[in-house]
Structure 1
Amino acid sequence: MSHYHAVVWLDHNEAHIMHISPEDVETSVVKPATPHRNLQRKRGSVSGSRQPEDQHFYHEVVEAMSGAKEVLIVGPGQAKLELIKHIHAHDPKVADQVVGVETVDHPSDAQVVAFARKYFAAKDRMLSQ
């Protein structure tokens, strides 16, 4: 894959990984092996503990990011932060490729790509000054 930038949009149900070049976008979708369940137990539950994150899902997302030199991670909830924690714990070399983490709701893939292109253009302008 010859794309320099990638953007990952994810929640706990799926991840859309888009490798971006000026002329092209390559998209892949990763879904967890088991359907999403509520990760937080209700208050007053007997155990009061959280369900474990699906580490295999995060491994697959990181694998799908390979080839990109700079990665922007976006999403609506906590999954993007869990991915960052996973990267720092299991794939520390990939952590240097992550240039930003942003909160976005549930846009279309085209909207995510437009957002990422604007983000990377602004980042590149700032670095060239």
Structure 2
Amino acid sequence: MGHPYAVAWVDHQTATILSFDAETAQTQHVRAHQHPTAQHASGVRAEHEFFAAVCAALAGDGQILVAAGHVASADFHHYVDKHQPQTAKRIAGYEIVDHPSEKQLLAQARSFFDRREHLAAPALHQPR
């Protein structure tokens, strides 16, 4: 079993995936394979293969935060919703970022999930 959380920074050529819990983090890198063909829409096919590899790398983890630029985020979101419904169910959010370091990415993800869990937790002191 993987970690309870993951953050994936995705563009159209590379992805950095950090799978983590409260104490540890594990890094994976996924790169698009370049195999140009004369086939119509081969760029779309290559993008779909890359996005599928990113989803496969996230398969063992729980909740996912996707961090990406505007275009990559929209493209990945569209792909996941259409082709990877099991992954789509585990994506807790999308945030727009521009080339963070792994340390910045992990800090952003920890903050995101801390806020999310804090908001979801029932209030300890309910008004009477």
- Tell me the TM-score range normalised by the shorter chain: 0.7 to 0.9
Runs of 4+ in 1 over 4 A off after TM superposition: none
For 1:113 and 1:68, locate their aligned partners in 2 and report how far apart those are by CA, in whole Å: 15
Do residues 126 (structure 1) and 119 (structure 2) align? yes
Q: Which has the higher helix share?
A: 2
Cα RMSD after superposing both structures: 1.7
- Matched with 1:52 is 44
- Matched with 2:27 is 27
How does 1:57-96 map onto structure 2 within 5 Å? Answer: 57-96=50-89
Which blocks of at least 5 consecutive residues in structure 2 are unaligned?
A: 36-40, 123-128
Aligned residues: 115
- Matched with 1:2 is 2
Identity %: 29
> What TM-score results when the alignment is normalised by the length of structure 1?
0.82
For 2:68 and 2:81, locate their aligned partners in 1 and report how far apart those are by CA, in whole Å: 18
SS in 2 for 1:78: helix
For 1:17 and 1:79, locate their aligned partners in 2 and report how far apart those are by CA, in whole Å: 15
Whether contact under 8 Å (2:2, 2:62) holds in the other structure is: no
For 1:82 and 1:65, locate their aligned partners in 2 and report how far apart those are by CA, in whole Å: 17
For 1:113 and 1:62, locate their aligned partners in 2 and report how far apart those are by CA, in whole Å: 18
